[in-house]
Amino acid sequence: MGLRIRLARFGRKRLPFYKLVVAQQRAPRDGKHLDVVGWYNPIPAADGNKHIGLKFDKIKYWLAVGADPSERVTNLLSKAGLIPPPPLPPRFPKAQPKAKE
């Protein structure tokens, strides 16, 4: 089975707090994990920012071993500059209304 870097939810009701963990791909969200590589607080603090803490050396190690980050973790790691940002989905032009004859 593959490894995945993903968010495990902690905190309390309506006040989530996440740890970035490395776990088996099929393990439960909050189940057994191999390593904790950071944390993420999605609730904006008094300064208006969401805070994140990353252990860069551990994340680089697990990415080198072959761990696949989840979609949300990919966005967080790209904002931190660890990996390149994911490609944007293609944008299709809006259809032009047909001319009446």
Identify which of 78, 4, 66, 72 has the alpha carbon closest to the alpha carbon of residue 40: 72
| Domains of the chain: residue spans and CATH | 3-80 (3.30.1320.10)
Question: pLDDT tens, 28-80?
Answer: 988 899 999 999 999 998 999 999 999 999 999 999 999 999 999 999 999 99
Cβ within 8 Å of residue 71, ≥6 positions away: 86
CA distance 85 to 60: 16
CA distance 17 to 35: 17
pTM of the complete model: 0.81
> Residue 11: is its pLDDT beyond 80?
yes
Phi and psi (nearest 5°) for 15?
A: -130, 75
